[in-house]
Homo-oligomer: A and B are copies of this chain.
Amino acid sequence: MGRPSSFLDETVFAAVANCLVEQGEVRLQAVTATARVSTGSIYHRFGSREGLMAAAWLDAVGAFQDRFLAALEAPATSPGLAAALVTPAFCRDEVARALILTTGRRSEMMSDKAPPDMRARLDQLNGRSRAGLETFAREQGLPIERVRLALIGIPLGAVRLYLPDKAVPESVDGDIGTAVAPLLSAR
Contacts and interface: CB of A to CB of B under 8 A. Distances in A.
Interface residues of A, number: 37
A105 B103 contact: yes
A161 interface: yes
Q: How many copies does the complex hold?
A: 2
A160 interface: yes
Contacts of A150: 179
A171 B149 CA distance: 11
A156 interface: yes
B160 A172 contact: no
Nearest to A145: B171
A149 B174 CA distance: 12
A111 interface: yes
Contact of A181 (B103, B148, B169, B182): B182
Interface in A86-118: 103, 105-109, 111
B25 A179 contact: no
Given A24-B109, A153-B157, A154-B158, 6 more contacts: A145-B161, A145-B171, A145-B172, A153-B158, A153-B160, A179-B179
21 contacts: A21-B107, A24-B107, A24-B109, A24-B111, A25-B108, A145-B161, A145-B169, A146-B175, A149-B158, A149-B175, A150-B179, A152-B161, A153-B157, A153-B158, A153-B161, A154-B158, A157-B157, A157-B160, A175-B183, A181-B182, A182-B182
